[in-house]
Structure 1
């Protein structure tokens, strides 16, 4: 009986190709982006815990969200994008903290929300930022505006946000030094940087930009108003859901994103219940935020619903750090308000799609007579 001949040279030659395939697979996972975003979010939180100032965590967290911008851009352009995004995040934090310190009534808070949406969309459209949505600006404003704030705490809160944003800027730009150190291996280890955003100073004249702003304003007013009318405890979640579902200017209107938002959030809430209901220490919350940020960045470009399995524990842990509330109430509010916001956004998407289709038919040239 003969035994198969083992060809060592064939195996040896196949190893480099296998390694290259693994490298390509790892690059496709956006590990570089995920690591940067996680470090920018978690390191400031660890410092605050060590300093005994976890009450400042929410400001550091939103400052750290600066690291979510600039992905896939060459570093010269990324420096510009991340700087603009940092200014947007800090402006949103400052606006929210100012509203909280003033004890602003609902009408003023709502006006502030509308201003954040308008300026956020215009800023993103003008600077060509990605993600192309004011979601993080709205999230920062709405949460910071809800945190009870003494006027004497305004400047320290803004300073923490600024330090968080500055650290996120450094982490986001650190890839330049890492790639430079890797030299010849850079192409094998890291993804290409194909995105080249352009400044568009005429964005404020773009009808699609204002259409997007109009859709968001209508959606957040309806969703937020319904949440307040029903008496739900965290109405800003309904607002955030609307902004998360509606597309950026010029993007295709999709109904799938609304369903992904709702069902992904429900699954994420069930997972979060396992974490928060036992009453974990603050270190567990920070670990949850870190894992949530990492997983979200890996999955967000592939499947929005799956990414929400990580986004939901992240968001709820941040909210719980900002203003602790009964966990069961927190979880129920999240599901109900996400469903409400998603449903409102779905209606806005369907109405907008129908209106755009009618406008296209009216502008289409009529067929010549036979």
Structure 2
């Protein structure tokens, strides 16, 4: 037992290398800050939820070279804007609390497939499902659909441009100076490198469909359970059900599930302290941006540590758009996270058993 638990415990608490995370964190922070400030100036802070998910385009391709990052982020922007658009449509449907479970489950499969094709880093449909469900949970109207699309699209486009700032700066540094020479900053062009592979391995081709369908199954089960139980924010369970399934194998699924639960618990304590201050307007926006930057600084180093910042970030965003009882928000987040994680671990275990049975009976993964 010790030989099993020791590597597991080590994986849970290990913090990886910094790896230039400050650049990705800065891009993400600016991508969120600028749209929020514009909406605050326009007097439409309630639209910030659309802007936030468009801005989350910036979290993709953090370690990719700029051309590869542009391709990946363009695909991610389409997914994120599509998520907001779908969510705004679901928000006006009758019985939307059940409709969102069906739509989100299908969207999880579609977004996971896009993630595989474009080799998203981070992989999986987490942000896509989060964006769809959070938007669908907000009060909606038909007139709000084009607003949601426009705000999310503008925010995503800004994130794309910010992701390419380094390319513009490099070209300016290499431009000929007034004497016909080149600036001192010019150096031989670096050889093009592929985007850094995700830390979580992609599944074998024969297992891709199986791997992708798991997201839809887990999302549906978590959504049906949480909605049926009448918990306040069912989409948090659906989002939590995706996280462990991003892992390539069962041990890593357990590690990510543990990170999700423990990181959320610690994050709820931070959220409680921040919500007691009742931040609003510019103060709330600056807190959201600071938490976004902090999360991006550590998310690739230790996912559980990142959730200490992601959890209050999510609750502050909800409170910014729809102020409510902080105690209820915190309780819902905790219960939904535990429920969704348990569902994900159960699906991961069932998937592992099915795969082993197939290998044992056929001797192949085909």
TM-score, normalised on structure 2? 0.83
**Separation (CA, whole Å) in 2 of partners of 1:83 and 1:92:** 14
**Separation (CA, whole Å) in 2 of partners of 1:231 and 1:306:** 30
Residues 298 and 194 of structure 1, relative CA distance in 2, 3 Å threshold: farther
Residue 195 (structure 2) aligns with: 196
* 1:74-153 correspondence runs (5 A): 74-153=65-144
Residue 12 (structure 2) aligns with: none
Residue 8 (structure 1) aligns with: none
Residues 238 and 187 of structure 1, relative CA distance in 2, 3 Å threshold: farther
Residues 185 and 346 of structure 1, relative CA distance in 2, 3 Å threshold: farther
Higher mean C-alpha displacement, 87-96 vs 123-132 = 123-132
**Separation (CA, whole Å) in 2 of partners of 1:310 and 1:39:** 17
Residues 133 and 127 of structure 1, relative CA distance in 2, 3 Å threshold: same
CA deviation profile, 1:169-211 (whole Å, cap 9, x unmatched): 11111121234456699899xx99844389xxxx9x9442221
Question: Which of the two has higher C-alpha Rg?
Answer: 1
Higher mean C-alpha displacement, 302-311 vs 277-286 = 277-286
8 Å Cα contact 2:244/2:252 also seen in 1:
no
- 1:161 partnered with 2:160: no
Partner SS, residue 218 of structure 2: helix
- 1:290 partnered with 2:289: yes
8 Å Cα contact 2:299/2:306 also seen in 1:
yes
Deviation at 1:318, TM superposition (A): 1.6
8 Å Cα contact 1:208/1:249 also seen in 2:
no
8 Å Cα contact 2:63/2:196 also seen in 1:
no
**Separation (CA, whole Å) in 2 of partners of 1:242 and 1:195:** 31
- 1:323 partnered with 2:314: no
1:177 to 154, 159, 168: 168
- 1:61 partnered with 2:52: yes
Residue 352 (structure 1) aligns with: 351
Residue 6 (structure 1) aligns with: none
8 Å Cα contact 1:265/1:338 also seen in 2:
yes
Deviation at 1:350, TM superposition (A): 2.2
Deviation at 1:34, TM superposition (A): 0.5
Residues 207 and 145 of structure 1, relative CA distance in 2, 3 Å threshold: farther
**Separation (CA, whole Å) in 2 of partners of 1:305 and 1:26:** 15
8 Å Cα contact 1:100/1:149 also seen in 2:
yes
* Residue segments in structure 2 that go unaligned for 5+ positions in a row: 1-15, 175-182
CA deviation profile, 1:27-86 (whole Å, cap 9, x unmatched): 724111110011001111111111111011000101101111122222222221111111
**Separation (CA, whole Å) in 2 of partners of 1:89 and 1:186:** 37
Number of positions where the alignment pairs a residue of Structure 1 with one of Structure 2 = 334
Higher mean C-alpha displacement, 252-261 vs 26-35 = 26-35
RMSD: 2.9
Deviation at 1:255, TM superposition (A): 0.6
Residue 19 (structure 1) aligns with: none
Residues 304 and 249 of structure 1, relative CA distance in 2, 3 Å threshold: closer
Deviation at 1:312, TM superposition (A): 0.7
Deviation at 1:102, TM superposition (A): 3.4
Deviation at 1:234, TM superposition (A): 0.2
CA deviation profile, 1:5-26 (whole Å, cap 9, x unmatched): xxxxxxxxxxxxxxxxxxxx99
**Separation (CA, whole Å) in 2 of partners of 1:243 and 1:151:** 30
Deviation at 1:253, TM superposition (A): 4.6
**Separation (CA, whole Å) in 2 of partners of 1:336 and 1:342:** 10
TM-score, normalised on structure 1? 0.82
Residue 7 (structure 1) aligns with: none
Deviation at 1:110, TM superposition (A): 2.2
**Separation (CA, whole Å) in 2 of partners of 1:332 and 1:187:** 55
